[in-house]
Amino acid sequence: MLAILAPGQGAQSPGMLTPWLEIPGVAEEMATFGEAAGLDLTAHGTTSDADTIRDTAIAQPLLVATSLVALRALLAGRDAADVAGVTAGHSVGEFAAAAVAGVLTDASAVELVSQRARLMAEAAAANPSGMAAVLGGDPQEVTAAIEAAGAWPANVNGGGQVVAAGSHEAIAALAAQPPAKARVMPLQVAGAFHTPLMASAGEAFARVVEHWPAAPPRMRLLTNADGSAFLPHGEGVGNEVLARLAGQITSPVRWDLCQETMRALGVTGIIELAPGGVLSGLARRVLPDVPRVAIKSPADLESAAAMITDTTGER
């Protein structure tokens, strides 16, 4: 079974969209996405600097758009459900995964995540806060140290990586007294995402998704909430997916559980959509025997297509 994964915020880099624009039809696709987002995503993906695309309101729709450009280039007109059995995304990547599964159209995913991004940016501005990666250490001791500092474990990624989030004071306290045998690395993000400090964004976004068009998934779609799978074709499941996306804003990302579900499902190959690398790196530590391809540029499409052929027989 093939898994298609979509990366989360922090995977973006200046100019990452540039080589994709050489593929016929991508410029038009990006123009559609830009209109949906109310942003010049093409400019942000080609000429904007690192500080500009770090802005939550820009980073999130840019990442989802880039992942979906890579997806469509890879599939070349095929339905993702014909080549993959499961999809998942890390944090904001869940919006791209929802499009992979057919819950949202590509343009709808970009439009919806743009609203999420703006609401989260507003919440972050109202509650100055940040995040830090905690690498290594005993998992229980890491959690205890994060909570003792007054922060929350916002991303539990597996492979000895937990991301803490909280006020700047809490993150500083954690860095000053790190867990045993662990390193604390502050992250360049604008707020304490996936914590109660995002409550205003979560409540507002729940109202947005309440009437947003959604279809049932056409393949298993894993949720960051607990790693469980939304199953294909269930009545009303599309609306449940959107409700989970709203709840995700204030809840921890349990990528460790998503990876455990992939193991249990017997995933035999992983393709990480652009800008790939982070999730493939985590899989290397947690699912070392599963072949994987991280799509970073169009040069990686051939290897990803070969994995589809090897895993499914599709050409």
- Check if the beta carbon of residue 3 is closer than 8 Å to that of residue 270: yes
DSSP states of 229-291: EEPTT-TTHHHHHHHHHHHGGGS-B-HHHHHHHHHHHT--EEEEPSS-SHHHHHHHHHSTTS-
**Strand 86-89 versus strand 220-222 pairing type:** parallel
SS3 129: strand
Geometric angle at alpha carbon 114, from 74 and 281, rounded to 5°: 45
The active-site residue out of 108, 194, 251, 280 is: 194
Q: Which residues contact 24 (CB under 8 A, 6 or more apart)?
A: none
Geometric angle at alpha carbon 123, from 121 and 128, rounded to 5°: 95
The active-site residue out of 91, 108, 114, 251 is: 91
Give catalytic status of residue 194 as yes or no: yes
CA 128 to chain CA centroid, Å, is 23
Give catalytic status of residue 91 as yes or no: yes
| Beta-carbon count within 10 A of 312 CB | 16
Distance of alpha carbon 57 from alpha carbon 50, whole angstroms: 14
Residues assigned a catalytic role: 91, 194
